[in-house]
Structure 1
């Protein structure tokens, strides 16, 4: 029918708009090889999650054993996030020099050393040295894993595969909580050291599995290793045609002529990061400036919601809510970790189905409600001189609701979003800036929570977090375009105007015009097709 209409238009010579009906494309199955590579890479985030989770319980015993103050506990809990800034920034340059895969290996080695140092700490100063080393390893892992996963994943499943990073963060947190509960039976001076030292075990395991993984095809192209990149793309793409398109797009983004093939071994290399910081910060284009604002903003607001305060200080919050038994506090904390893990699994299956924006906006809306209600419940408890059962129940419910709403959208979104929006030449350093913002904000929040709730009450602290979440909702609505289904090389065109020119569904009933296109071309989505009609 479409061909007949096109011929009639050609005879009449009148430009007309016609509608071409396409059968809905079949949803591609998850590429098993790409899935395995992404799974292994994102498992490095277990290190960050385990450290956060295990410290929430270990700090109780560290305080008793080392006789330190609340201020020292705050610093101990949150300082690893500031130390990780060093790793985040260093990882961007390191990954451009030695590749994404070996940078993951570096992360495991550094964290292993940090875990061993913490496990054998004899005093507070020694423990802080271990936190410093482990923090650098965490910074490396947090930056490089999302970049590697985004670069190796096909566009159809990139959201799902990249969100696995947050799945393993939450799994690590849950492991840390369980470790707290299991090793709490040991003598005080031994229990917390075992809790922290056990973190070296997953680092060793992950270091070995990384050797099996291929290098990122985008990094290989930037090194001029086109043949190696093609082989990786053939394995990680949904079809041969997609592999060819991905390779052509990467070469174009890297400034490599399309006619260069895998037989050409001398290619100008642009991969060592020269001039990247100037292009990112000093003289950015409107698109790059918009991308940087979006990346830094989403990481900043994720941590300003107070999630690390909840994760790190759950035992204290439950104590304020009326749970006084140490055993029950640790069990309730395990419930927090379990809730986060379950809801992050739900989020992974929604990113590529309903998109990034709907998940982020609905997640933050739920967080605003749960944080405000939690603040109300804790204020009622704080102002009462006797136990109020309904307020206790409300507070515990809202605490779990907050981590559920956070995990279903706001939790995985910063990693997914920031790892896919930067142009290839800026991706490593741009992503490291986002992760550095994330860790810096997390460090400030986690190192001030005890002082904050002592100053404005614990209910007031959560009202403050609710207000920040409200501001973040407005920011996300106006700044973040939808990226679902776009190739990495196509992202830059979405940014730069702040007018929400989000891509529409181009699968069905696409309108094309054949009246004004030269040489019999028609406009099909964003592509021109020759010889139609």
Structure 2
């Protein structure tokens, strides 16, 4: 055996120091010292190594391990060849062409994962389509209140209060006399998600699975809009919007996780970001609905609220036809059902067998890491919540997901999404023209989200964020300064133009990344509670924004509000640069090693290595400047040696 000398605080198992392996390629319990090494590596992966747990296992032993795995897990005998060939491919992904066990069709299928990476079964795209409908509901729910803000305060007789900062002729929906009540009504769904539905998603996912949780959320999304449309007081409207928040929260937590767990690694970003793409489409549809009923009279705001039930109907009817998450089945020990799901979600049974065995092998290693750290993999929801902040690997994911979620509110997009009609009206246009301006915002938001589908897995999540935030800063700041233009027509045109530019930069970056990123960074043991934390964080700040913005507009005017949020873009940019690792082209389980790298090492690499390289490459234009990678992935190697021969 080859020895690998490392310091005590950087211990990593050498790939030649593989213990005897039985069931899954990770075998029997490790000795105490080796368990400590694994725990230390995953808690503080100072070398940035991303391990393949199958690497180094002799071929015959690996095949025997797979056969034993099939028997112990009660899988059908006829799938053994697919599991064995799949395990050989997973052991050495770059060397599949040399595997004699694969026939021409097998090799062609694996080549096509690169050559035709969007070619997948209809069941996968049907799942993403249903998840996209769930996202569209979210966007429509947001935009319904956007248009209704122009009328419902008057219609429901929201009382005056002291300290009005508006003149007698000002828009009642924006005046300080009722701004807090309007803000409370608008923020109620986000408060509900933060306090209740974001967290109840964890036990619902545990017992009902991804599909069952989404279906319950869809039921609330069908019924709540009718309640909002029929409300006679602002209290009733707030209560109905609380019910709407229950449905929104269940979907926000579950849908991105469902998409991430069903998607192949090489296009996971492009598929999971459909959440934001179709949320933007829902915003666009909501603006269309607002326009359609914008001149029907006193019931217009009721129809704007009520229209949001429309996209929820196909979600209720179609959810149960999707394959359930294979990773959820594996978590429940339902291996045959996980196999059947993967067969529906992958092009060939070879790919299904490879993914089933490799995911399970990685999950076994992840479970051993948790056990070696002295933790219980079946701990309660409350215990797992505290572990979000106590287990180093999980804590880093918690922090990174929290940063991207907070940044989505800091960037200022929701001052437009929630209140664009009111903001455009303050630039000097009529209420109906403001609805048309909001329509333009919704269209831009949707169209410019499409580039992320094709760049999320090539440029990467982090790169998109670092590109969009500086551009959101200057465009939002300029939009605010345009309110100082004295000529009415020029002011309206300038404000709309720079708001649209701001939306165009937001949509392919900070728009799709937060929910997609948060859905993939947590280990399976903490994925539901971790996503609950991320969604609660996002919606807490969304509720703060929604609650305070009417008052801020009344006191600071749009110039001050836009300038305030423009400045927060720079703060968010700095946070992302030092706290958010890249996750593209890595399996969900391989991210255990990415988030085991200490943040001090990650930040030091970004500030001491990447930043100087960027300055030399793009400012001094030194084309020969090289940037060393922080991570070293086993599966990126062209040849893993002869250990498995």
What is the distance in 1 between the residues matched to 2:382 and 2:357? Answer: 23
- Counterpart for residue 5 of structure 1: none
- Compared with structure 1, are the counterparts of its residues 58 and 227 closer, same or farther at alpha carbon in structure 2 (3 Å cutoff)? same
Deviations 1:10-37 (A, max 9, x none): xxxxxxxxxx999995342331321221
Could you tell me which of 284, 292, 299 is aligned with 2:391? 284
- Counterpart for residue 449 of structure 1: 549
Contact 2:184 2:238 in 1 (8 A): no
- Counterpart for residue 358 of structure 1: 463
Deviations 1:253-279 (A, max 9, x none): 443999xxxxxxxxx994975742232
**What are the within-5 Å matches in structure 2 for residues 73-112 of structure 1?**
73-85=182-194, 86-112=196-222
| TM-score normalized by the length of structure 1 | 0.84
What is the distance in 2 between the residues matched to 1:65 and 1:241? Answer: 62
Contact 1:62 1:192 in 2 (8 A): yes
| 1:337 aligned onto 2:442 | yes
| 1:461 aligned onto 2:571 | no
| TM-score normalized by the length of structure 2 | 0.70
Aligned residues: 478
| 1:29 aligned onto 2:129 | no
What is the distance in 2 between the residues matched to 1:257 and 1:307? Answer: 37
Contact 1:84 1:439 in 2 (8 A): yes
- Counterpart for residue 187 of structure 1: 297
- Compared with structure 1, are the counterparts of its residues 126 and 257 closer, same or farther at alpha carbon in structure 2 (3 Å cutoff)? closer
- Counterpart for residue 328 of structure 1: 433
Could you tell me which of 477, 497, 514 is aligned with 2:598? 497
- Counterpart for residue 474 of structure 2: 369
- Compared with structure 1, are the counterparts of its residues 194 and 36 closer, same or farther at alpha carbon in structure 2 (3 Å cutoff)? same
Question: Which 5+ residue runs of structure 1 have no aligned equivalent?
Answer: 1-19, 259-267, 505-521
Contact 1:92 1:432 in 2 (8 A): yes
Could you tell me which of 211, 215, 220 is aligned with 2:320? 211
Contact 2:218 2:316 in 1 (8 A): yes
What is the distance in 2 between the residues matched to 1:353 and 1:36? Answer: 24
Contact 1:96 1:273 in 2 (8 A): no
Between 126-135 and 244-253, the greater mean CA deviation after superposition: 244-253
Offset at 1:67? Answer: 2.3
What is the distance in 2 between the residues matched to 1:443 and 1:113? Answer: 22
- Counterpart for residue 10 of structure 1: none
- Counterpart for residue 525 of structure 1: 637
What is the distance in 1 between the residues matched to 2:402 and 2:317? Answer: 33
Contact 1:321 1:396 in 2 (8 A): no
Deviations 1:51-79 (A, max 9, x none): 11111111212122112223221211122
**SS of 2:117's equivalent?**
coil
Could you tell me which of 485, 492, 496 is aligned with 2:585? 485
Deviations 1:148-191 (A, max 9, x none): 00000010111111011111211111111111111122221x22
- Counterpart for residue 56 of structure 1: 146
- Counterpart for residue 175 of structure 1: 285
Offset at 1:325? Answer: 1.9
Contact 1:82 1:443 in 2 (8 A): yes
What's the Cα RMSD here?
Answer: 2.7
- Counterpart for residue 625 of structure 2: none
- Counterpart for residue 526 of structure 2: 426
Deviations 1:347-393 (A, max 9, x none): 22211222111111111111011112112222x23xxxx42654443
| 1:136 aligned onto 2:246 | yes
Deviations 1:60-108 (A, max 9, x none): 1212211222322121112211112211111122101111110000101
- Compared with structure 1, are the counterparts of its residues 387 and 523 closer, same or farther at alpha carbon in structure 2 (3 Å cutoff)? closer
Offset at 1:241? Answer: 4.1
Could you tell me which of 556, 570, 580 is aligned with 1:470? 570
Contact 2:326 2:339 in 1 (8 A): yes
- Compared with structure 1, are the counterparts of its residues 327 and 359 closer, same or farther at alpha carbon in structure 2 (3 Å cutoff)? same
What is the distance in 1 between the residues matched to 2:415 and 2:347? Answer: 41
| 1:294 aligned onto 2:400 | yes
**SS of 2:469's equivalent?**
helix
Contact 2:346 2:352 in 1 (8 A): yes
Question: Which 5+ residue runs of structure 2 have no aligned equivalent?
Answer: 1-93, 98-110, 159-177, 368-375, 611-633
Between 455-464 and 139-148, the greater mean CA deviation after superposition: 455-464
